[in-house]
């Protein structure tokens, strides 16, 4: 995603991107629009209950290539086999359902928002979240796009103060009503 922004193929990254100091050397991040927490997820029938159950050499864990989930999985699951996928959060859930991996690591919101697209009760999140608390997600622009960066920050301040932010989160991320409408 960052190369597309830097090459001019995109003006803004409106993806689930965690702002990091390393990434901020290349791009500018808007104020976070939401916070998420990395989690381990697996099929409902899998016997995994704890982090230790997943952190074994015979367990294959799917992650998104270049994501915070990939970094977290390598840190918390050093004994497991990590398999990285290109694409969006749905890719790892699809790999899990297809039996290509035994578990996945991604942010909890990304997993929860795609679950309605899969058979009911087929995926479950392990109780323990990973990391050191919640991770912010931010939009990003090039360093020279100061006006766009200010506009993004103003937009989120505005929709938070007028109630539209909460309504959009409820509609698009926490519910499934949008599927009937679109």
Q: What is the pLDDT of residues 65-105, one digit of tens each?
A: 988 899 999 999 999 999 999 987 789 999 999 999 999 99
| pTM recorded for the entire structure | 0.76
For all residues of the chain together, what is the average pLDDT? 92
- Helix (H) or strand (E) holding 113, with range, is helix 108-114
Say if 115 falls within a structural domain. yes
Q: Which of the two residues, 178 and 42, has the higher pLDDT score? A: 42
Provide the residue range defining the domain that includes 86.
38-129
Q: Give the CATH number, domain containing residue 23.
A: 3.40.190.10
In angstroms, the Cα distances linking 9 to 1, 4, 29, 115, 179 are 10, 5, 18, 31, 29
State whether 27 and 110 are in the same domain. Answer: no
142-151: pLDDT as tens digits:
999 999 999 9
The stretch 147-175 carries a mean pLDDT of 94
């Amino acid at each position: 995603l960052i190369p597309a922004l830097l090459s001019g193929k995109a003006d803004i990254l409106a993806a689930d991107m965690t702002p990091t100091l390393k990434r901020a050397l290349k791009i500018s991040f808007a104020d976070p629009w939401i916070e998420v927490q990395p989690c381990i997820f697996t099929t409902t029938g899998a016997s995994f209950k704890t982090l230790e159950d997943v952190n074994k050499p015979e367990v294959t864990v799917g992650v998104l290539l270049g994501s915070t989930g990939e970094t977290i999985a390598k840190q918390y699951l050093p004994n497991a086999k990590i398999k990285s996928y290109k694409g969006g959060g749905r890719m790892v859930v699809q790999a899990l359902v297809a039996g290509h991996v035994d578990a996945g690591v991604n942010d909890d919101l990304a997993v929860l928002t795609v679950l309605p697209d899969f058979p009911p009760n087929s995926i479950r999140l392990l109780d323990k979240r990973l990391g050191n608390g919640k991770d912010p997600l931010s939009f990003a622009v090039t360093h020279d796009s100061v006006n766009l960066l200010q506009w993004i920050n103003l937009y989120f301040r505005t929709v938070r103060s007028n109630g539209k932010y909460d309504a959009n989160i409820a509609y698009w991320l926490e519910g499934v009503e949008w599927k009937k409408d679109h």
